[in-house]
Structure formats: C-alpha cells, structure tokens
Structure 1
Amino acid sequence: MNEKVDFLIIGAGVAGLSAAIRLQNYGHVLMLAKNTVTDCNTDKAAGGVSCVWSDNDSFDKHVEDTLIAGDGLCNEEVVRSIVKEGPERIKDLIDWGIEFDKLPDGRYNLAKEGGHSKRRIFHVKDLTGHAVLEVLLSKAREFSNIIIREWNIAINLYGKDNKCLGVYVLDRKKNEIYTIYAKAIILATGGAGKTYLYTSNPDAASGDGIAMAYRMGAKIANMEFMQFHPTCLYHPYAKNALISESLRGEGGVLIDKRGRKFMMDYHELGDLAPRDIVSRAIDDVMKKTGDDNVLLDISFKDPAFLKKRFPGINNTCLKYGIDFTKEPIPVVPAAHYLCGGIVADIHGRTNIKDLYAIGECSCTGLHGANRLASNSLLEGLVCGTKCGIYVGEKYKNKENHAVKIPDWHEGCAVDPTEAVVINQNWDEIRRVMQNYVGIVRTDKRLKRAWHRLNLIDDEIEQYYWDFRITSDLIELRNLCMVARLMLKCARARRESRGIHFNLDCPNKSDLIRDTVVQYYW
C-alpha cells in the first residue's frame, strides 16, 4: 500500500509536535509514533525548560553558561538564536494552558540547575516534560490537518540522487508494511539511551532516526557525546527512574556512604557543577570506595516543601520503600541524552534534500560536547517551531506529485522463531556499551567494543534479511548501528572533551572540531 501526505513527521515528542502545530497551516501533517505518544523522552523530562525571564538574568549569561558546558564545541550563533527565542516559546505554552509553578506573589518560581548561573528553569513541579507534552498534544488535536498515528514504526527511508522520497513503515497492530511519500520528511525520533544498560530513557529511545538517516547518506556528528545524568535511582527493581537535577538546585547534596560531601573536591560549583563533571566525580568516588552507588541527600529540608515541589520523585521513591524527606536517595549515573546526531541547521535542514531533523536526534551545535541542563526542551520547542515554519513556507506552492517507491519485498522470509537471538544481542550490545564506552574510556576498551559490535552487527544483518520484519528486529538493527557510530566517533576523537573522557588521551586538543561520519552508497 502507498500513502501520500503533504508532510510526514516521524516522532511525536516536543520537537515533532512543535513543528506539526506550525506545519498544519500549510497542508496535511501525518505524525508517526512507534508506541503511544507518551512513550518518549519528552514525557520523562523532569527538570524544566531553561529560559531567560527575570530582570537579573540576560541572554548573554544563558549563552555563556551554555558555551561553558559545551566545552568549546558549541556553535555560538546557534546558541544565541535559540536562547533569544526562548521567551516567545514559553509564552506559547502559557497561552496554550500550561501552568508553570509560581511563587506566592504571582511571579514564576524559576529553578536553578547545574551549570546555570541564574534561576531560569520554568517547571511544573518535577513533571515538566509530561505537562509540556500534554499541552502540545492538546493544541495539536485542535487541528484536523494533524493526524497522529500510534503503533507505527518507520523501517527505512527511501530516496535517490541525494533526495529523500519516502519511508517504509510497519503497522505494529496490523503487522503490515506500507510506504508513505511526502513533500518533506521530518525526523523527530529522539535519542538513543537504550544503547546502554543503565539509562533514564524509555524503551523507545533506540536511535531509529539517526540510524535511518545514516543509511540514507546523511551526515552524523559527535556521537561520542552521550551525556550521563549523574543521579538516577539505584534500586534492583527501579527502571529509568530519573532523580531530577532540580533537587540539587534546591539544596540537595551528594555524599558517599560514609556521609562525606565530595563535590567541592572536583569543581568550584560543587553539587551544581555541569553534568559531565558530576558524573565523573561520582564514578571516581564509587571506584575509590568500592561502593555501587552514592547518596543524594535533601532530607534536611522541610518535608512539606519537598513533597509539594517534587511529587514525582516522592512517589517514585516511596514505590521502592525510600522516604526522601527522611533519608538520602541512592543514585548512580545513567545514559541520559545524546548530544550528537544528524547534522542539521537551526531549521532542521540536513545534507539530504527534503529530509529534516529536529530535537535530540539532531546535532545543531547547541549542546557541543555536553548539554546544559534543561536546554533540551528549549531546543525542541524552538527548532521544532522554526522547522515547521521553514518547511511550510518552502513547500507551500509545491505539488506533491506521486513518486514510484518500490514495494517492500520480504521474499522467502518467514516469521522468526528464535526470539532469543534478538534478546541476547540486545542485552550484549547494551552491556558492551555500558562496560567499555561509559563515563571513563580507554583505547583498549573502545577497540574491544568495536570488534565485538562488528561481529554482532554481522549476525543481526543476516538475521534481518532472513526473517520477517518485526518491531524488535527493527530496533535491534538500529540500536547496533547507533552503538557502532558512537564507537566510531569515540575512537576518532584523540582528546578528552566534555562528556568524552579517555584515560589514554586525558587532555584537550588545540584543534577544535566536530567528529563527522557519513555513509556513501
């Protein structure tokens, strides 16, 4: 089956929805969500949206904080543009009904997080991402021109002559494969935290958009920069339980199991140092003490305040028998945010015609070698909006002519009967990445991981073409591709910068460059 739409957006998080809301003025918009619309990183974002708002703050200060966190790899022009547009996007959310936390006098209760010199984080308790997603979904559903199709996963992009024409899609409910062609295709597929064993990301974060774009010939950059969130709940039964950085912004302190505060030993900002520094500090303390985790303590604060300010954290902790108003929270770093991705400008344009990338799957130059806390939702709102307007204007007078996209042929493939192969490879990829491509790296570890993942990739490709396509197999193939791209970039960067720390190259190079990879076909 072939389907024609004006604009196709793959992904339905903050970036994709922001684009769709603008694009609907120019034609019909189809959005694909491979699971439910809430199974995305946007919904799990606990902290907030960074935005200059108060009189004692300025765009220059926000830009400076972002550049410092990015450790020399940010594109200052991009940073400044996104930061300056922040207030307009916050006003949009307010107009559409979001209720950011306020002080008793009616002013917004702006929070402070690691790396920020001022209080500039808009938040809805500690459930900001969920609130942002709900508001954007509600707004998008006002327009008949926007259709959100859940349980549909993209398999591969199709194109020729450096032009993207369409995409093959698996309807997971009907177990049928069909093709979609559009004037423009926007990738808003989010990150790739599931390449690691321990992550704050939902299961959907398998790097699908990046893998598809790479196979299409798009430029991919800075994949070595996987940001580890310093504080995820450490518990044998906890899954993807993020303990927001805003907890430390309200006075929480990191201590070892002996009760010793340690962050001032590593950075002058102490517990509010940038994430890469905090994660490495925790990793160092755990290795020195032999402990499996450290502790995050805010139990000295008023319990009523804590429960009101952090209802999400309170509920999560209580679920696992922890009362964070009375005792410290056991935490460990976990893969959280991919600072690299598909090379794109601030409007989402890639090197492939009619293919755009926005949000976490893109690499615009905003984050550099390390993302500043709460800049991700900001980027999704700003770049999603810019992309929607740009694409709408560019294609508004262009006819959507039918193009011939070959049907998907499964040949003699049969339904897979050895699901254990998929599960085994999935688990091994994540363990290899966790153990060899983690917070602290070495040349030997990276080399071992490279050889192992190449063997796994060969096995997956054989399995991919021998058996009928399933969503698990699609994700496994993409996951392995993205893991190999991370390794390829990590091995190419002969220095330590931002999130990427290699004991065999512990210093920064004088040569400041992005690590760019591209597949030629």
Structure 2
Amino acid sequence: MIPSVLPAPAPGWTRDTDVVVIGSGIAGLVTALRCRPHGRVLLVTKALLDAGSTRWAQGGIAAALAPGDDPRDHLADTLTAGVGLCDEDAVRAMVTEAPDAVRGLIALGAAFDRTAAGEIALTREGGHHHDRVAHAGGDATGAEVSRALRAALKDSGVEVVEHALVLDLLKDAAGRAAGVTLHVMGEGQPGGVGAVRARAVVLATGGLGQVFSATTNPEVSTGDGVALALRAGAAVTDLEFVQFHPTVLWLGPGARGQQPLISEAVRGEGAHLVDRAGVRFMTGRHELGELAPRDVVAKGIMNRMRETGEPYMLLDGRHLGAATWEHRFPTILAVCRHHGIDPVTEPIPVVPAAHHASGGVRTDLHGRTSVPGLYACGEVACTGVHGANRLASNSLLEGLVFAARIAGAIRDDPAGEPGEFQIVRDGTRPLDPALRGEIQEIMTSRAGLLRGGAGLDAAARELAALPGRSGPEVAPGVAAWEVANLHAVATAIVAAARRREETRGSHWREDFPDRSDSAWRGRLVTRLDGNALTTTYEPIAGPTEGSRA
C-alpha cells in the first residue's frame, strides 16, 4: 500500500504560466531555455538553482565526436550495457543528436577541456569502445555545464522560484495536467502551499538515491517526481534497475548520506582495481576488464569483497603521477586528501553505492508521459535509453537531448487552457520525518545491490508497516513530505524487484542468478490505483543486443 503523500490544504495562492518546469539540473535548465521562445516559463527548484545532481557529475558527456567513432558504435555500446532492455529507437535518437547537442552547449558558453591542437579532449569510461567522453575542468563537467546554463538563464526571461518543493499534479476536468501545487520556503516568494496553473508540466526533478543509506546523490534526491507521477496515475517503468556506482570513496562501515564519487574516468585514464593483496581481480571477468559496464564492475567488487572478507577494494592510480591527478582530477584529488587519502602516493579505498535510477516516469521519444500535458526528462524519466544498466556518461546526454525534444513537443502539442482544476491525491497524511533512516536501512539491507526473494518480501512487509507507526498528527512540512515520497518510491522499487525473478544489469537476484530472455526480456510497468500498486509485464520484441556493423 502506498498512501498518497499529502493532506489536502487549499492552495493559499495561485499564479499562472504557460510551462512549469520542476528541477534545475541539465534537463530542467535546457527545457526551460528551449521552451521560453514559445511562452512564459516558470522554473521551480527544491533548493538553490545549482543544488541538483548535475553539478556533481564528474565524468562528462558521451558523444561520437572523434575521428573513427560513429553514433552507430555509441548505439551498440549503449545497447550492450542495457542488457537487452533498451528502447533502440530512443537510443538511436540520443546518440545521433549527441554531437550537435554538445556543440550547442559550447555555443552557450560551456568550456570543455581541449587538446594541445584545440580539439575537444575525449576520454573513455566503462562500456565504451572509443574515447568519446567530453569533459570540463578535468573532473568538474557537471559544474561547468550547470554554470553555463545558469548564465544563459539570466537573460532568458525564465522566472525562477527557489526553495519550493513540488507536491502534487493539478488536472483539469478532462484529466489533463493543469499545473502543480508547491510548498514555497524561499524569501521574497509567497509562502506555504500554493498552486501554479500551466498548460504543460515538465518533471526534471532528478533521482531517488536518498532512498538508500549511502548514495552519490545529493540530499534533495528523494524521488519527488516519481512519487508525484504515481499519485497522478502516470506509468513508471524499470524501477528495479537502480545502478550502483562501483567506485565510491569508502568512509567507513557507518557512512551515511551523500558519499564522494570516484569517477569512472580515473579508470579510463589507467587506474587499476586491486584487492588488499594487489591482485587485479577484474582481469578475465570481462573483455573490457576494469572498464566493463558498471553492473559488471560493481558485482566484481562485491564478489571479491566476499571472497576476501574485506570491507572495500582499492583503486590504484599511483602510476598516473602527480601531474595527471592535479590537472585531470583536481576535484577528486582534493576530496580524497580532505578525507586523509593521497591518491598520488596510496590506493583509494572504494565500494559500490547507489548512484543512478535507470527507470522512472515512462515517456515516449518526446518526453510525453501517459498523462496528457505531463512531460518528464532526465533521471526522473524512463526514456528507454538505459535499459537495465546505464552506460557511463549517457546521463547528462539523455537530459540534454530529451529536454530539447520536450520543448519541440510542447510547442507542437495541443494545449489545454488554465482553468478549474483538481488536486490529484487521496487526502492521506505525511509521514514522520524520523522514519527516513528506517526506510533507508530497509532498502540498503534488503533491496540494495544484492537482493533475494526473502529479503524483498521482508522489505515489503516492513515498508507497509511504517505508515501505521507514523502517528496521526504529523505536521505537514518539507521533511515529512520527503519521507512520504521516499516511502512511496521504496515501495514501488521493492514491488518491481520482487516481480523480476532473474539477474540482469543492475538488478542482481542471488536466488535467480541467471539472465532469462525467454521469461524476462521486457519491462515492468507500475501504476498506482487508489492506494494499490499494480505492476504489469510488457515483453520486448526484436534482437537482444545491438550490432557494431
């Protein structure tokens, strides 16, 4: 059972716009900028404009920009990483439009790293057979892209509301999205709960990593967009595929919250994964070794930890030299040194941690969801490009490409008129903020990187019991609403993970250790009907992997 998150206060204020975009990562910023020529745009962000996941992205943006590379090769690598579940048409659209999308960022002022000859510098990450990852500031690509887009936003005429948590979707009498309700906390804005009426609503709210105890995601990544979409009756897909990044800085057994990421690009530049005895344990496990797709490397690390009894593995980049660390990976170097580790002289202790949701709100090739007038892009969406496991550096690219596609769809799609609306919710209550840690512990211990039927069954029972322990008089507020969103998303993830009885990509079932194309080459589509989740299986037709021809 998933209670819808909010009580039903009447909005204390109402304002109108043409398009409301929720989220300030690359997907939200590009959508807002691209929609602005077609009408009024209101961009809403939960915290500060630069507080989303984009600024934490280290590796870069994948695009076939190098001589000898081709979008068809990028397509093949993406399909292989997705383990048979990618939407090939969506991937083809993304990789074909990728080079021009990167050039468009450069035209907006994003400064990518260059070679001595002045060409865009490209590196390789896990799962890629070519150097095709464009980066900025060495290992600060997300920060540079975010800076450039925010600079472009200043003179665009896009209105911005910071410190506003999106609550629920508004619908008109025909069932079309008609805006959202917000809880606004920022100074200079009308406070409390209000309504923004709009002809189109775009979810670009980012990820859901905070559903786990340790994640690379920032504090704001509490699955708000997926929870809203479920309550609005939209279809969500592939929620069982939560990618764990293989190399996150190990800060001890009790580490909680956002953890420091050690970019895959470090391995792309030649660092090695070793155990405490110095053995390169990924050798022979995959043709790409330490640059295998992320699910393969994460499983390799976990298996070696089991074999040796060690709580972490090591990433050895000492041979890269001080100059490479200082110029190519200055952010990672500083973070490691802050925590008492010098990668120039010693290996880095690493473990996998929750990183990226490959699934989300189901969309078509132009970001349309199953609710008319509601669009989604970026990590909150499931465009189909990631399948069961995201290929490295396709995340910023996905947000960039599909944000532009959404802008075209909003321009061309029939639009409703702001008018009477209803709030989509069942009127149930928020949850006690103290339950946040319990939700995270349940998900980490029973539905994390390695899962099993018994643990997932227990997770379902434990999550179902939490609302009854919340108490009848929880004060509505951001913390309570975030916990309710986390609870809704956790429940949906567990439902999908229980249903998929195989191991594929980032979904690793110890009781079903093999991949089964005959039974499970398809998508699990989840909807919320009242307070009851339904999860249906939709098989995928066609070949299981891409071709490099």
Displacement of 1:339: 0.3
1:514 aligns with 2:516: no
Structure 1 regions of 5+ residues with no counterpart? none
Contact 1:4 1:182 in 2 (8 A): yes
What are the residue-to-residue correspondences of 1:9-408 with 2, within 5 Å?
9-124=21-136, 125-144=138-157, 146-159=158-171, 161-173=174-186, 175-236=191-252, 239-394=258-413, 398=415, 400-405=417-422
**CA deviations over 1:411-447 (Å, ceiling 9, x no partner):** 9x9xx9xx9x422x11111111111111111111111
Structure 1 pair 262–20 and aligned structure 2 pair: CA distance change class (3 A): same
Q: What percent identity do the matched residue pairs reach?
A: 37
> Which residue of 1 is the match for residue 438 of structure 2?
428
Cα distance in 1, alignment partners of residues 284 and 487 from structure 2: 37
Displacement of 1:330: 0.8
Cα distance in 1, alignment partners of residues 58 and 425 from structure 2: 40
Cα distance in 2, alignment partners of residues 235 and 295 from structure 1: 13
> Which residue of 1 is the match for residue 484 of structure 2?
477
Displacement of 1:392: 2.2
Displacement of 1:401: 3.5
What's the secondary structure of 1:264's corresponding residue?
coil
Instruction: Kindly provide the amino acid, as one letter, of the partner of residue 433 in structure 2.
Output: I
Cα distance in 2, alignment partners of residues 484 and 459 from structure 1: 16
**CA deviations over 1:322-366 (Å, ceiling 9, x no partner):** 111111111110000000011101211011011111111111110
Cα distance in 2, alignment partners of residues 286 and 409 from structure 1: 46
Cα distance in 1, alignment partners of residues 497 and 444 from structure 2: 14
Instruction: Kindly provide the amino acid, as one letter, of the partner of residue 266 in structure 2.
Output: L
Cα distance in 1, alignment partners of residues 330 and 271 from structure 2: 16
Cα distance in 2, alignment partners of residues 285 and 187 from structure 1: 39
> Which residue of 1 is the match for residue 533 of structure 2?
none
Cα distance in 1, alignment partners of residues 514 and 474 from structure 2: 47
When normalised by structure 1's length, the TM-score is 0.94
What's the secondary structure of 1:352's corresponding residue?
coil
Instruction: Kindly provide the amino acid, as one letter, of the partner of residue 233 in structure 2.
Output: G
Displacement of 1:408: 11
What's the secondary structure of 1:432's corresponding residue?
helix
- Greater displacement, 385-394 / 61-70: 385-394
Structure 1 pair 334–177 and aligned structure 2 pair: CA distance change class (3 A): same
Structure 1 pair 30–496 and aligned structure 2 pair: CA distance change class (3 A): same
> Which residue of 2 is the match for residue 453 of structure 1?
463
Cα distance in 2, alignment partners of residues 320 and 234 from structure 1: 10
What's the secondary structure of 2:194's corresponding residue?
strand
Structure 1 pair 230–406 and aligned structure 2 pair: CA distance change class (3 A): closer
**CA deviations over 1:249-270 (Å, ceiling 9, x no partner):** 0001111112111011422211
> Which residue of 2 is the match for residue 443 of structure 1?
453
Structure 2 regions of 5+ residues with no counterpart? 1-12, 531-549
Count the aligned residue pairs: 508
When normalised by structure 2's length, the TM-score is 0.89
Cα distance in 2, alignment partners of residues 175 and 456 from structure 1: 30
- Greater displacement, 508-517 / 484-493: 508-517
Instruction: Kindly provide the amino acid, as one letter, of the partner of residue 488 in structure 1.
Output: A
Displacement of 1:43: 0.9
Cα distance in 2, alignment partners of residues 405 and 114 from structure 1: 46
RMSD: 2.0
Structure 1 pair 407–450 and aligned structure 2 pair: CA distance change class (3 A): closer
Cα distance in 2, alignment partners of residues 45 and 407 from structure 1: 34
Displacement of 1:406: 6.5
Contact 1:457 1:481 in 2 (8 A): no
**CA deviations over 1:443-463 (Å, ceiling 9, x no partner):** 111111111011114445x55
